[in-house]
Amino acid sequence: MLRFVACLTTSAGVILPLASAAAQAPSPSPPLPVAAQIAAAVLPLPQELRAGATVLGYNGSPTLSVVRKGNNGMTCLAPDPKRSNFHVACYHESMEPFMLRGRELRAAGTKEDSVDVVRFAEAKAGKIVMPKLPASLYSLTGKLGSFDPATGEAKDARRLFVVYVPYATAETTGLSTAPKAAEPWLMFPGTPKAHIMFVASMQ
């Protein structure tokens, strides 16, 4: 989790090191029971935010839907049974239009390197409303089977935390745009997906 030189975006819009991102692949496993989906989905959040988060999961359908309505402005995605790894993410609700559009485009077959081309154009045209204030995102990524429903833990899953600051630049934030191993840095500067990357070892 301390290297961000090569990165990509997951289906949740999460930025991950290229080496740790697993390809989408059909899985013979059905979705977890809804209660386990909720327990897994909120794991990236600080403890005090978990109970109040909205959770999108799979309740008898291959399409994400609300399996628990929250009240604290955070939205969490349950593990996708089609993935070949374990991945859950939580983000501020102000990022939902951007995240939802990404899911729609991928479901329609849009290639990954074109998803942001479309979203950036739509954000510029005002079709996607981006937040005016910073918006957080937390995620956990690990090997398939990392999450243990019996304990509610995801052993050895790696944490990632970013703060979206749409259209921010090095000049407007004072942040470097070069990847850093021990300090925050700005990724995708000047775009709707501009965000500050943080590393797990920061205290």
Report pLDDT for 194.
98
Q: What are the tens digits of pLDDT across the range 132-189?
A: 999 999 999 999 989 999 999 998 899 999 999 999 999 999 999 999 888 999 999 9
Mean pLDDT over each residue of the chain, to the nearest integer: 87
DSSP assigned state of 92? E
pTM of the model: 0.85
Report pLDDT for 201.
61
User: Which of the two residues, 200 and 42, has the higher pLDDT score?
Assistant: 42
List Cα–Cα distances, 202 to 1, 160, 181, 182, in angstroms: 11, 11, 9, 7
pLDDT of residue 196 exceeding 70, the answer is yes
Positive or negative: CA dihedral 32, 149, 157, 143: negative
Report pLDDT for 13.
52
Ranges of each domain in the chain: 7-198
Average pLDDT over residues 93-111: 96
